[in-house]
């Protein structure tokens, strides 16, 4: 629970315990001022307690808003001063000469009156509404993208409407704490949950928060906790490493306020789930929490104590199933009795399962009558596998079929980059000679086709991940889709006999401990093409877990896997790679992710290797043998924080390299004056040989080495994260990012390759510009065509952000969404001269700090175009007089002087000692702020804070 330390209550109590003596001869006005101050102090204490209660009630681990903290500080300060005045009064009244000292009574009366006014300002400015930053995604009345729910309209049927109504009634009944929905795979349980969420969010009555997590057949408790914490906005959970600590944090958050109604949705339970291990309150502990569960099995829900609130979701009725099929195939059935007859018989074979109905209908939508008759003959309603295989057989290409099988092999939600490693390893796109980026684009197209065929679930706008339904994943793994010698196995089918297991062409195990790994290496996998291994429960983890300290190197033996083309291992401790890995002559993709590899020299034998990932390794040196991998197209050395040496010549020899990732890794580039020795390092000039490079993540602490050579091939990059000079701002996770701290090396900005990259940059941080005397928009000579975020810090050479020196309207920063300026001591204006309407036209966030010469931000006509502005913060700008000025004589105004900021939700103006108003010279132009909060603090000549809730 967030605690705000306030001493007001105890202090005030000490001041007001003793009754006020009514001594004869007191000045009447004096008495009234003291009594008023006493009353105001008590009122302030009540206001303080209300805010504290709000803080406690809303606590979700997020930081408290700045203006709330400031209000709390001011309350403490002014309450202490008020109590001092009251204490002075009490002491004065005890003196025998007090009634003959009118000057003292006058002084205390005046102080009491002034302090009462100060206290009243605080009372009027009491924070209201949300007191925490970053409204949690699970908040019912918060912004929520209904389209992301992926509603396909499957539930718009009477049978679904009635069960939806029953579930809603149960959710509104206090007697039901745990509610369950069961039904076979593909019947639409997850889709029904989305409808429940949508209805609850639209009505905004039953719950304050709705959170959801997928459980699946192999529950990952940490992932479940993270999903719930994300929806609750509980950011502190990600920093907690212990299981007990995470459980306690989540449990405390969910029990924080008994009046807060929280719905926790747990989808796809396969067995009884211990809520206590996750940190979810149960039974009498649940207070305001309710659970909504789904499972294929009724007995699982009964074990979870649903009892009288279990709902059975069955397949669609025949007429409903036909309508869904008809809707999916479009006009094909219109006036075609033959197809209608086939469709009617076919739909009855699909068991009323919306998943299969959509899939088959999509496959038949553009096919002839013969294909419809073939489907009717082939599909066996008693075996779901035949339905899935029929859809599989009708995919247009062998590559797409293989991709579907790979999705089924991994199961659940899958990172697209993992699929890229697999398909490239299998030789996809080789005949077309596609680049890595072209291959990535082709993969996206293939995945879109699988979604269109309803073989993958719709994931909204998420391009980094895809999701496959468990029903398809089970069918893919349990059925030899390519004949008896083409089996696939994953963690859900780990008890196969040895003879069957050895026939697999692909194996994906997400639960490999030492014993399982030791057993696996005793088998002979003569046909195995793909092997994917991970520690238990860590397959899809973004951040590495704490490693099992035992080295698994001695257990690995690849002697019987000579046909292996992809080896993908995550979070298994492999300090020394086994010698047997050197025989994998057909290996195209090797992905050793956070495996603590200490020596990679043996990998030089894998001449066919195209993709090599050693991210998170314990390498201290990249050996010369890696230079023998001349077919390598992707090298990932991210997060190798011990890597201090790349032997000279290694990178230069990787002439086919297209993608190089060194973020959080090697940065000790040697300059021309480096002394040749056994400990010498790679020179940056080696990268000039990488003429095919298209993706690059690199840090260059010393900018000087960039000026020793030119003609770097970086101008052709389409994905990049480049940090030159080690600026404090890292902009983590964003591609097309440039971070430049140049100081006396400003001339680097004139390099041709830098200018080419700046044209493509979306996230730019500049720091330490001293000699480059240009305006910000001129830093890229061709204009910032794609820039979304601009951050400039400690750069005295910047005078204007956009400057129209010739008097013609300037077009710049048309895609800019976030502008951050700090410590620009010579900055006079954001825009100097006329700018085009598109300039800053989609700006959402503006944050300006310590720009001491800046007197205002915008002229009134410029402000009128900022309709997308969401956050505006200006602080510690000593010359700032107003945010807006009418710009009379400098810029032509619009006919309508109204300024509307319909999306503004946060406005902070802090420590602006010369500011006198929000807008000067245009008093008749009203400013409409429709939502959020507005904070003015310490401006003008009055040091008091003023708060306005909007």
- Give pLDDT tens digits for 891-909: 444 444 556 777 787 888 8
Mean pLDDT of 85-97: 60
Top pLDDT among 410 and 148 is at 410
- What is the per-residue pLDDT for 574? 93
pLDDT band at 506 (very low <50, low <70, confident <90, very high): very high
The two three-digit tokens of residue 105, written as one number: 């009574």
- Give pLDDT tens digits for 428-464: 998 888 999 999 999 999 999 898 888 898 765 567 8
- What is the per-residue pLDDT for 750? 87
For residue 715, pLDDT beyond 90: no
- What is the per-residue pLDDT for 924? 45
For residue 238, pLDDT beyond 70: yes
pLDDT band at 86 (very low <50, low <70, confident <90, very high): confident
Look at residues 938, 763, 912 and name the one whose alpha carbon lies nearest to residue 851.
912
Count of other CB atoms within 10 angstroms of residue 322: 19
User: 222 with 240: CB under 8 angstroms?
Assistant: no
- What is the per-residue pLDDT for 49? 79
Task: Give 3-state DSSP helix, strand, coil % of the chain, rounded to 5.
Answer: 35, 20, 45
The backbone torsions φ and ψ at residue 648, rounded to the nearest 5 degrees and listed phi first, read -55, 140
Most confident of 269-273, 475-479, 608-612: 608-612
Top pLDDT among 206 and 728 is at 206
Count of other CB atoms within 10 angstroms of residue 69: 14
714 forms beta bridges with none
Beta-strand relationship, 933-939 and 942-949? antiparallel
Least confident of 80-89, 250-259, 337-346, 583-592: 80-89
Top pLDDT among 756 and 255 is at 756
- What is the per-residue pLDDT for 943? 38
Look at residues 355, 254, 369 and name the one whose alpha carbon lies nearest to residue 313.
355
- What is the per-residue pLDDT for 27? 43
- What is the per-residue pLDDT for 336? 86
Question: pTM here?
Answer: 0.75
- What is the per-residue pLDDT for 256? 79
Mean residue pLDDT across the chain: 81
pLDDT band at 90 (very low <50, low <70, confident <90, very high): low
Alpha carbon 234 to its chain's center: 13
pLDDT band at 820 (very low <50, low <70, confident <90, very high): very high
Count of other CB atoms within 10 angstroms of residue 662: 22
- What is the per-residue pLDDT for 674? 55
The two three-digit tokens of residue 811, written as one number: 């077009």
Helix (H, G, I), strand (E, B) or coil at 635: strand
- What is the per-residue pLDDT for 383? 79
- What is the per-residue pLDDT for 131? 62
Top pLDDT among 99 and 732 is at 732
Mean pLDDT of 282-304: 86
Encode 704-737 in three state secondary structure. Answer: HHHHCCCCCHHHHCCEEEEEECCCCCCCCCCCCE
Mean pLDDT of 818-827: 95
For residue 24, pLDDT beyond 50: no
- Give pLDDT tens digits for 386-424: 888 888 888 889 999 999 999 999 988 899 999 999 999
Top pLDDT among 132 and 16 is at 132
- What is the per-residue pLDDT for 127? 76
For residue 942, pLDDT beyond 60: no
- What is the per-residue pLDDT for 636? 98
pLDDT band at 508 (very low <50, low <70, confident <90, very high): very high
Mean pLDDT of 762-782: 87
For residue 947, pLDDT beyond 80: no
- What is the per-residue pLDDT for 97? 38
- Give pLDDT tens digits for 164-180: 999 999 998 888 889 99
For residue 672, pLDDT beyond 80: no
Distance CA 542, CA 547 (A): 14
Mean pLDDT of 204-224: 85
pLDDT band at 678 (very low <50, low <70, confident <90, very high): very low
pLDDT band at 89 (very low <50, low <70, confident <90, very high): low
646 forms beta bridges with 622
């Amino acid at each position: 629970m967030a605690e705000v330390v306030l001493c007001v209550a105890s202090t005030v109590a000490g001041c007001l315990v003793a009754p006020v003596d009514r001594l004869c001869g007191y000045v009447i006005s004096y008495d009234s001022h003291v009594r008023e101050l006493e009353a105001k102090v008590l009122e302030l204490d009540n206001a303080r307690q209300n805010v504290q209660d709000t803080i406690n009630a809303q606590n979700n681990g997020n930081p408290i808003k700045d203006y709330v903290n400031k209000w709390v500080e001011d309350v403490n300060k002014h309450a202490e001063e008020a109590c001092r005045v009251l204490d002075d009064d009490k002491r004065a009244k005890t003196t025998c000469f007090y009634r003959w000292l009118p000057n003292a009574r006058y002084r205390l009366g005046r102080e009491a009156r002034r302090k009462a006014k100060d206290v009243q300002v605080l009372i009027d400015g009491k924070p209201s509404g949300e007191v925490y930053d970053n409204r949690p995604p699970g908040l019912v009345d918060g912004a929520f993208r209904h389209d992301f729910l992926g509603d396909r309209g499957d539930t718009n049927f009477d049978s679904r409407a009635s069960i939806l109504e029953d579930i809603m009634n149960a959710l509104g009944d206090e007697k039901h704490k745990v509610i369950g929905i069961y039904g076979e795979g593909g019947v639409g349980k997850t889709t029904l949950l989305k409808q429940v969420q949508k209805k609850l969010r639209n009505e905004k009555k039953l719950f304050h928060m709705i959170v959801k997590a997928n459980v699946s057949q192999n529950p990952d408790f940490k992932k479940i906790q993270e999903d719930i914490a994300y929806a609750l906005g509980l950011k502190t959970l990600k920093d907690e490493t212990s299981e007990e600590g995470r459980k306690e944090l989540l449990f405390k958050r969910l029990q924080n306020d008994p009046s807060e109604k929280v719905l926790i949705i747990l989808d796809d339970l396969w067995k009884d789930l211990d809520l206590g291990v996750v940190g979810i309150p149960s039974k009498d502990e649940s207070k305001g929490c309710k659970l909504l569960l789904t499972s294929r099995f009724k007995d699982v829900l009964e074990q979870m104590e649903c009892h009288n609130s279990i709902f059975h979701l069955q397949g669609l009725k025949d007429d409903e199933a036909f309508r869904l099929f008809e809707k999916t195939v479009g006009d094909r059935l219109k006036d075609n009795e033959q197809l209608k007859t086939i469709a009617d018989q076919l739909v009855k074979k699909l068991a009323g399962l919306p998943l299969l109905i959509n899939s088959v209908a999509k496959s038949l939508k553009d096919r002839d009558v013969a294909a419809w008759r073939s489907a009717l003959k082939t599909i066996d309603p008693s075996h779901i596998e035949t339905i899935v295989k029929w859809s599989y057989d009708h995919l247009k290409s062998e590559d797409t079929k293989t991709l579907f099988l790979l999705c089924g092999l991994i199961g659940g939600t899958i990172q697209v980059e993992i699929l890229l490693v697999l398909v490239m390893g299998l030789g996809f796109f080789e005949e077309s000679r596609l680049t890595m980026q072209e291959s990535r684009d082709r993969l996206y197209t293939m995945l879109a086709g699988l979604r269109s065929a309803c073989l993958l679930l719709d994931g909204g706008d998420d391009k980094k991940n895809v999701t496959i339904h468990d029903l398809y994943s089970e069918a893919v793994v349990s059925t030899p889709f390519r004949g008896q010698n083409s089996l696939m196995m994953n963690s859900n089918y780990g008890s196969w006999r040895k003879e069957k297991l050895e026939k697999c062409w692909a194996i994906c195990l997400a639960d490999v401990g030492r014993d399982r790994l030791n057993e696996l290496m005793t088998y002979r996998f003569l046909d195995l093409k793909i092997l994917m291994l991970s520690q238990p429960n860590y397959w899809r983890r973004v951040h590495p877990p704490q490693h099992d300290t035992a080295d698994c190197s001695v257990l690995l033996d690849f002697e019987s896997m000579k046909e292996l083309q992809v080896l993908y291992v995550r979070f298994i401790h492999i300090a020394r790679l086994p010698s047997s890995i050197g025989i994998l002559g057909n290996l195209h993709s090797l992905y050793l992710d956070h495996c603590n590899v200490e020596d990679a020299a043996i990998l030089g034998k894998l001449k066919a290797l195209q993709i090599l990932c050693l991210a998170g390794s314990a390498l201290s040196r990249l050996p010369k043998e890696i230079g023998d991998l001349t077919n390598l197209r992707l090298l990932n050395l991210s997060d190798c924080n011990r890597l201090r040496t790349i032997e000279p010549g290694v990178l230069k020899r990787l002439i086919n390299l297209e993608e190089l990732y060194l973020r959080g890794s090697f940065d000790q580039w040697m300059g021309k004056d480096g002394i040749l020795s056994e400990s010498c390092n790679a020179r940056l000039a080696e990268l000039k040989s990488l003429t095919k490079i298209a993706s690059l993540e690199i840090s260059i602490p010393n900018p000087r080495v960039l000026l020793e050579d030119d003609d770097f091939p970086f101008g052709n990059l389409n994905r990049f994260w480049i940090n030159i000079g080690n600026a404090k701002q890292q902009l983590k996770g964003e591609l097309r990012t440039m971070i430049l701290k140049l100081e006396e090396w400003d001339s680097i900005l004139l390099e041709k390759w830098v200018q080419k990259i700046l044209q493509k940059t979306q996230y730019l941080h500049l720091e330490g510009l001293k000699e480059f005397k240009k305006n910000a928009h001129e830093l890229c000579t061709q204009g910032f065509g794609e820039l979304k975020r601009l951050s400039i810090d400690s750069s005295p050479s910047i005078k204007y952000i956009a400057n129209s020196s010739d008097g013609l309207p300037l077009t710049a920063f048309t895609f800019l969404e976030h502008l951050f300026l700090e410590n620009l001591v010579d900055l006079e204006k954001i825009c100097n001269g006329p700018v085009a309407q598109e300039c800053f036209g989609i700006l959402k966030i503006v944050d300006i700090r310590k720009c001491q010469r800046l007197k205002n931000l915008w002229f009134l006509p410029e402000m009128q175009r900022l309709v997308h502005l969401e956050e505006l913060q200006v602080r510690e700008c000593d010359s700032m007089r107003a945010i807006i000025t009418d710009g009379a004589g400098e810029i032509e105004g619009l006919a309508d002087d109204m300024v509307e900021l319909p999306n503004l939700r946060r406005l902070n103006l802090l420590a602006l000692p010369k500011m006198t108003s929000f807008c000067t010279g245009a008093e008749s132009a009203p400013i409409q702020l429709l939502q959020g909060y507005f904070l003015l603090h310490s401006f003008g000549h009055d040091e008091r804070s003023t708060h306005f809730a909007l």
